[in-house]
Chains A and B, each alone.
Chain A
């Protein structure tokens, strides 16, 4: 990899260990992936926040912060293991302190604790801008819907990019790697967010790293595309997809997806038919439009006793959607910021079964949370949650 004089100095440790080790990570990964240089990034989004997953592995963050590492690019954090109002009161002190320690270490390094997996609702990156984002669903959304350019970073490489303000120039940062190379023909239009998510889960399994061009669906919202991308990134290594273009080349490999593939996927992701202890909306974190739809569905209703209804989003969206948040909370639901059940200790709260409208959440909950899952669209989730 070709480095500038300044980059060489950083690599030689002239600016201290934090920058030296960050540069080492970027250069080594760049070499492995065939990058020839580093490029400036507009922002970094960093995973590796929840104390539930990080646990005893915060030594590296401590070392970086102690060595004076500071982010050179605007940087945000993925969700943590509790929200500051509701769950915070239900968890042991050790968990609370451990989590705050992690957030404070990032804060010391100048990383904004946005604590959301949808940072693009807070700050929308410009089309064509280069980013270093981890959190695969956000990478999909940035590349596909927003037209920004980012590889699918890991937590450590996104943090290293934040500290250096640059990322290795390869993969999705180069136009020739952003072309579709397979057509996915969807025979029947998915009718809700859950079906879009399930379509993603199904397609991700056979795509590997290919970039699909979807033909068929004509009726979708950006939130549906968010679910489709999140699902695809869950089961595959893809970083973007196309949905508006028609295929230009004739020699594309074409794969068909039928209505029953989506139905089967939803069925297979559901592991229980027992009544849910928790109904969870907000994987990935809700937009204000989604908060509005949930509020509309809950208007005049009451959540059953014995059922928890959680709607997860960022502080930013919760503030923005205040009047709708009020309706959800009046109905007995909880609008939780900074977290989601997948990275929280829900089993300790006595939750054994979860119903969600998110295919990604349904995919992870049985292993990450050891709970039974039912996957169903928002309308059914609200119907199950409320008194008739």
Chain B
């Protein structure tokens, strides 16, 4: 087994690990994610139909209404939120959502290096991501 280490900027501290769910598109949590199930519902989104539950969620940045922060909190509260968030560029909607939901978060990461369903360990205290590549 081989692993790759990526470095980013810590946004919300914490450690976590899980399977990556990677999108090339920005996510709008309000209207784009079902707040009860965590399933992505945005029309035309590359993750449409996938659930963020228990995943290390990787996407370039958030967009849309700032109510999206409250959606992230609601997801975490219901146990269907992501385990960690990795962004290319942190935006206020996702940052505030991750803070209030207490979801470990890192940004300034080249998320193209991560593939969906890879095992990822995140240390958001240090801004480190370890991707375990299957051999």
Report the interface size class on chain B: 20 to 34
State how many angstroms separate the Cβ of A98 from the closest Cβ of chain B: 13
Q: How far is the CA of A48 from the CA of B64 in the complex (A)?
A: 13
Q: How far is the CA of A153 from the CA of B96 in the complex (A)?
A: 12
- Contact check, B100 vs A60: say whether CB atoms are below 8 A apart: yes
* Given known contacts A29-B95, A32-B90, A154 and B69 CB-to-CB distance under 8 angstroms: yes
In the complex, chain A residues 47-68 whose Cβ is within 8 Å of any chain B Cβ: 47-48, 53-61
- Contact check, B35 vs A56: say whether CB atoms are below 8 A apart: yes
Binds A, one of B17-25, B47-55, B71-79, B121-129: B71-79
Q: How far is the CA of A237 from the CA of B91 in the complex (A)?
A: 13
Interface of A is mostly: helix
Partner of B100, one of A21, A47, A54: A21
Total A-B residue pairs with C-beta atoms closer than 8 Å? 72
- Contact check, A156 vs B69: say whether CB atoms are below 8 A apart: yes
What are the residues of chain A within 8 A of B99 when measuring CB–CB?
A: 21, 24-25, 28
For residue A180, CB closer than 8 A to chain B, the reply is: no
Partner of A157, one of B36, B77, B92: B92
B101 (CB) vs chain A CBs: closest residue: A60
Interface string of B87-105 (1 = CB under 8 A from A): 0001011011101100000
* Given known contacts A29-B95, A154-B96, A57 and B35 CB-to-CB distance under 8 angstroms: yes
Q: How far is the CA of A53 from the CA of B30 in the complex (A)?
A: 8
For residue B61, CB closer than 8 A to chain A, the reply is: no
For residue B66, CB closer than 8 A to chain A, the reply is: yes
Q: How far is the CA of A61 from the CA of B67 in the complex (A)?
A: 11
- Contact check, A156 vs B74: say whether CB atoms are below 8 A apart: no
- Contact check, A156 vs B96: say whether CB atoms are below 8 A apart: yes
State how many angstroms separate the Cβ of A25 from the closest Cβ of chain B: 5
State how many angstroms separate the Cβ of A132 from the closest Cβ of chain B: 13
- Contact check, A61 vs B100: say whether CB atoms are below 8 A apart: no
* Given known contacts A29-B95, A48-B67, A57-B67, A156 and B100 CB-to-CB distance under 8 angstroms: yes
Q: How far is the CA of A28 from the CA of B90 in the complex (A)?
A: 11
By a beta-carbon cutoff of 8 Å, the part of chain B in contact with chain A is 11-12, 30, 35-36, 65-67, 69-71, 73-74, 77, 90, 92-93, 95-97, 99-100
16 CB < 8 A contacts A-B: A28-B95, A29-B96, A47-B66, A48-B66, A48-B70, A54-B67, A54-B70, A57-B73, A57-B74, A59-B77, A60-B69, A153-B66, A154-B69, A155-B65, A156-B66, A157-B96
